[in-house]
């Protein structure tokens, strides 16, 4: 949700900023902009509605090129306040044009601040909350300048940012520059991620590592209520109350190639095909089939407390919530501990009862989803132990939970989550086994599950081999505007996930539900030729699912079934079959989800949709 990249150093920064924006584009893509301050201290701003390519084209070919500059900032937007117009695109400036700001987050009290500033005679050009912040910083800056009582060497800009942020309610990740201090970049964060990349006499600040990794692997993750003043060759981190903070320099985990498309046409396809490797990386060093042991370094200090826990609450949004639903089944089935899975957005506001012995598990690819973070904080305030199941190392949820298990899935760029989902399920399976083994699960059972889990990456490769067969089904049905996805037990969440994937990237209306629920209403929707996707692998509820398939076929629905390899009987009940290898029931979702990811992908391609950047969506939603 909105991407920021900013630079101060000794290089000409425009190419770096545009390249950085392209890498961040998955965070938002309705408009973009760039501001630089040239050697003569002049501010230059360009903005455009649409993709980064439109901005780039207008700079390179629009007859209005940007002069060389060594300080600048850029932004790609996912609109919250104000429509995606050029006037609302970032960077925003103070009305005297001295201060420029890029912002990710929401200034909640912007209406009050806008009135205050309007009454003081300031004029606004946009409908955004960010322009209010730029104006406020500009207003404070002008006052401080007039008072002229700061000790020599103090950055007026940093003081103005601090003073302005004290008046602001809401969330922000910001970069600020002022044409009067053309060697100073001020950045600050509260609630929206910001990473400072440290190069040789230069700093690259960005919302996530993808825009930094090409230039340096040394980074500082800003914490909430912290800011940094960056000048070529020196930087200082403080709280926004100006208390010094010693920066902790970390090494970025992922390599540049992991952020690149390679030979694939889309990131989503690349990430679907990366699943065997991603799951293998997720399992690496954590499972020992011979000993029947699970080693989870990130939770080892909490091991005893986790075993004693009375209840687990799994939470997340979107695809992460679907993984949570599967984790709910796994924890009850394998670890025999009462568990519930709840939308983070609902948990937060329903005044939940958090009894002693409750563990809240926050599941999130990005580790920045605002709803999930809010649920985590609510649970913490009420005394729960908290656990993160997160992909992005150093993200807010990873840092605010008591302990955690990283996915190690590698960067996920496609807006529709795929490999993060299968890794989330893998982590939840390992957590269930970790707890189960310390309680009731026998060594034999544990060994059996660990062996099956270790075999999943190879079995995933077999599913991927059917991509072109699945593409044929997708092309056959992609003009149908209504689809149903049905499954039981462990495959009910997979039905939800299959429907979500199709909705997200191909804009086809799809519903997922427990197969048994269909007859309580949705069966009325079924008409001749409607595609209905069943997950009907061999398992405890196989016969029941077959009955549901018959109910659909009796009403003219066209049935596509995801079945267990070798099950020839299923062909009698279905129009089209995709086979997946057999595994133990709790792990079967790791394989059955893959044909549905591919079905959605191929349907979106067949419909000419922008797979990696679907309309209205953003990869990481950092507002509630």
When binding is defined by CB under 6 A, the residue of 162, 317, 418, 426 that contacts ligand G6P is 317
Q: How far apart are CA 27 and CA 415, in angstroms?
A: 8
Residue 366 found at the interface with ligand G6P (CB under 6 A): yes
Name the minimum Å distance from CB 27 to ligand G6P: 11
Among 415, 418, 455, smallest CA distance to 407 is for 418
Listed ranges 32-40, 180-188, 296-304, 310-318: which one lies at the site for ligand G6P (CB under 6 A): 310-318
Residue 396 found at the interface with ligand G6P (CB under 6 A): no
119 with 73: CB under 8 angstroms? no
Closest to ligand G6P by CB, 56 vs 271, is 271
Q: How far apart are CA 504 and CA 618, in angstroms?
A: 11
> Between 186 and 225, how does the x/- string for binding to ligand G6P read (CB under 6 A)?
----------------------------------------
When binding is defined by CB under 6 A, the residue of 94, 315, 364, 386 that contacts ligand G6P is 364
When binding is defined by CB under 6 A, the residue of 315, 365, 537, 622 that contacts ligand G6P is 365
DSSP result, 198-264 = E-SS-EEEESSGGGTTTT-SEEEEPPTTEEEEEETTEEEEEETT--B-PPPEEE--S-GGGGS-TT-
DSSP H or E stretch at residue 360: strand 358-364
Burial class (CB in 10 A: 0-12, 13-18, 19+), 557: buried
Burial class (CB in 10 A: 0-12, 13-18, 19+), 199: middle
Residue 422 found at the interface with ligand G6P (CB under 6 A): no
When binding is defined by CB under 6 A, the residue of 32, 156, 268, 320 that contacts ligand G6P is 320
Helix axes 275-283, 419-437, angle to 10 degrees: 30
Residues 578-617 that bind ligand G6P (CB under 6 A): 617
Closest to ligand G6P by CB, 441 vs 620, is 620
**For residue 4, what are the β-bridge partners?**
75
Name the minimum Å distance from CB 250 to ligand G6P: 20
When binding is defined by CB under 6 A, the residue of 91, 173, 191, 318 that contacts ligand G6P is 318
Residue 404 found at the interface with ligand G6P (CB under 6 A): no
Name the minimum Å distance from CB 503 to ligand G6P: 11
Closest to ligand G6P by CB, 339 vs 366, is 366
Listed ranges 116-124, 153-161, 266-274, 362-370: which one lies at the site for ligand G6P (CB under 6 A): 362-370
Q: How far apart are CA 497 and CA 138, in angstroms?
A: 47
Q: How far apart are CA 46 and CA 622, in angstroms?
A: 25
Name the minimum Å distance from CB 598 to ligand G6P: 17
Name the minimum Å distance from CB 215 to ligand G6P: 25
Q: How far apart are CA 10 and CA 3, in angstroms?
A: 23
Name the minimum Å distance from CB 368 to ligand G6P: 7
Write the CA distances from 183 to 72, 136, 409, integer angstroms: 10, 21, 38
Among 474, 469, 486, smallest CA distance to 550 is for 486
Site for ligand G6P (CB under 6 A): how many residues? 17
Name the minimum Å distance from CB 1 to ligand G6P: 9
Burial class (CB in 10 A: 0-12, 13-18, 19+), 19: middle
**Which residue has its beta carbon closest to ligand G6P?**
318
Residue 426 found at the interface with ligand G6P (CB under 6 A): no
When binding is defined by CB under 6 A, the residue of 128, 372, 441, 459 that contacts ligand G6P is 372
Closest to ligand G6P by CB, 504 vs 585, is 504
Q: How far apart are CA 244 and CA 228, in angstroms?
A: 10
* No. of helices (H) and no. of strands (E), the chain: 18, 26
Query: Is 609 a catalytic site residue?
Result: no
Closest to ligand G6P by CB, 394 vs 436, is 394
- Can you list the alpha helix ranges (DSSP code H) found in 416-509? 419-437, 443-464, 467-477, 492-506
Closest to ligand G6P by CB, 449 vs 594, is 594
When binding is defined by CB under 6 A, the residue of 192, 207, 315, 417 that contacts ligand G6P is 417
- Residue 172: alpha-carbon gap to chain centroid: 17
Closest to ligand G6P by CB, 364 vs 588, is 364
User: Which among 2, 178, 282, 478 is annotated as catalytic?
Assistant: 2
Closest to ligand G6P by CB, 275 vs 417, is 417
Name the minimum Å distance from CB 12 to ligand G6P: 34
Among 30, 42, 40, 43, smallest CA distance to 3 is for 30
Name the minimum Å distance from CB 108 to ligand G6P: 21
Reported for 546-551, long-range contacts at CB under 8 A and 24+ positions apart, including other chains, are 546/570, 546/573, 548/486, 548/488, 548/515, 548/516, 548/518, 548/519, 549/573, 549/574, 551/518, 551/519, 551/523
Query: Is 270 a catalytic site residue?
Result: no
Closest to ligand G6P by CB, 320 vs 510, is 320
Closest to ligand G6P by CB, 14 vs 424, is 424
Residue 319 found at the interface with ligand G6P (CB under 6 A): yes
User: Which among 270, 419, 613, 619 is annotated as catalytic?
Assistant: 619
Residue 369 found at the interface with ligand G6P (CB under 6 A): yes
When binding is defined by CB under 6 A, the residue of 49, 415, 450, 591 that contacts ligand G6P is 415
Number of residues that this document lists for the chain:
624
Burial class (CB in 10 A: 0-12, 13-18, 19+), 308: exposed
Name the minimum Å distance from CB 354 to ligand G6P: 21
Write the CA distances from 598 to 103, 499, 511, 577, integer angstroms: 35, 12, 17, 14
The total of other beta-carbon atoms located within 10 Å of residue 149's CB is 7
Q: Would you please indicate which residues are annotated as catalytic (active-site) residues?
A: 2, 619
Residues that bind ligand G6P (CB under 6 A): 316-320, 364-366, 369, 372, 415-417, 617, 619-621
């Amino acid at each position: 949700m909105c991407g920021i990249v900013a630079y101060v150093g000794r290089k000409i920064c425009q190419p770096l900023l545009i390249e950085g924006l392209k890498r961040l584009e998955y965070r938002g893509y309705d408009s973009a902009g760039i501001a630089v301050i040239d050697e003569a201290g002049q501010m230059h701003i360009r903005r455009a509605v649409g993709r980064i390519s439109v901005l780039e084209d207008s700079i390179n070919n629009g007859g209005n090129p940007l002069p060389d500059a060594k300080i600048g900032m850029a932004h790609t937007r996912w609109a919250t306040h104000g429509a995606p117009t050029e006037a609302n695109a970032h960077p925003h400036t103070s009305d005297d044009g001295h201060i420029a700001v890029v912002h990710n987050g929401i200034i909640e009290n912007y209406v009050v601040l806008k009135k205050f500033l309007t009454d003081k005679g300031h004029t606004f050009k946009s409908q955004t909350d960010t322009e209010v912040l730029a104006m406020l910083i500009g207003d404070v800056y002008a006052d401080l300048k007039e008072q002229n009582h700061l000790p020599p060497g103090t950055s007026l800009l940093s003081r103005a940012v601090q003073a302005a942020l004290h008046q602001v309610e809401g969330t922000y990740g910001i970069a600020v520059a002022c044409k009067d201090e053309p060697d100073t970049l001020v950045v600050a964060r509260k609630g929206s991620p910001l990473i400072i990349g440290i190069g040789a006499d230069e700093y690259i600040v960005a919302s996530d590592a993808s825009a930094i990794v090409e230039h340096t692997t040394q980074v500082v993750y800003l914490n909430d209520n912290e800011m940094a003043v960056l000048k070529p060759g020196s930087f200082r981190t403080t709280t926004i109350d100006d208390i010094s903070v010693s920066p902790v320099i970390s090494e970025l985990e992922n390599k540049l190639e992991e952020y690149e498309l390679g030979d694939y046409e889309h990131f989503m396809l690349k990430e679907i095909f990366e699943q065997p490797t991603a799951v293998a990386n997720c399992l690496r060093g954590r499972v020992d089939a011979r000993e029947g042991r699970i080693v989870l370094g990130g939770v080892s200090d909490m091991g005893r407390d986790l075993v004693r826990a009375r209840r687990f609450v799994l939470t997340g949004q979107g695809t992460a919530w679907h993984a949570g639903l599967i984790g709910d089944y796994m924890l009850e089935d394998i670890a025999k501990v009462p568990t519930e899975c709840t939308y983070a957005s609902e948990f937060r506001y329903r005044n939940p009862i958090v009894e002693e012995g409750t563990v809240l598990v926050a599941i999130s690819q990005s580790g920045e989803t605002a709803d999930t973070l809010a649920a985590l904080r609510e649970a913490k305030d009420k005394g729960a132990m908290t656990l993160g199941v997160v992909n992005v190392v150093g993200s807010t949820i990873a840092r605010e939970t008591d302990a955690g298990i990283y996915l190690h899935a590698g960067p996920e760029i496609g807006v529709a989550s795929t490999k993060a989902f299968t890794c989330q399920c893998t982590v939840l399976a390992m957590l269930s086994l970790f707890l189960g083994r310390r309680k009731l699960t026998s060594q034999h059972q544990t060994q059996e599950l660990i062996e099956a889990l270790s075999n999943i990456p190879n079995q995933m490769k077999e599913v991927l081999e059917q991509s072109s067969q699945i593409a044929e089904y997708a092309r056959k049905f992609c003009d149908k505007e209504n689809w149903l996805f049905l499954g039981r037990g462990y495959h009910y969440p997979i039905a939800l996930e299959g429907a979500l994937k199709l909705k997200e990237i191909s804009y086809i209306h799809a519903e997922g539900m427990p197969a048994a629920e269909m007859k309580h209403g949705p069966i009325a929707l079924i008409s001749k030729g409607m595609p209905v996707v069943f997950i009907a692998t061999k398992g405890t509820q196989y016969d029941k699912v077959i009955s549901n398939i018959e109910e659909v076929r009796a009403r003219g629905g066209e049935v596509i079934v995801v079945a267990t390899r070798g099950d020839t009987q299923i062909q009698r009940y279905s129009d089209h079959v995709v086979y997946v290898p057999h595994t133990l029931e709790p792990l079967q979702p790791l394989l059955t989800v893959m044909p549905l990811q591919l079905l959605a992908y191929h349907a979106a391609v067949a419909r000419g949709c922008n797979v990696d950047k679907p309309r209205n969506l953003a990869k990481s939603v950092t507002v509630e």
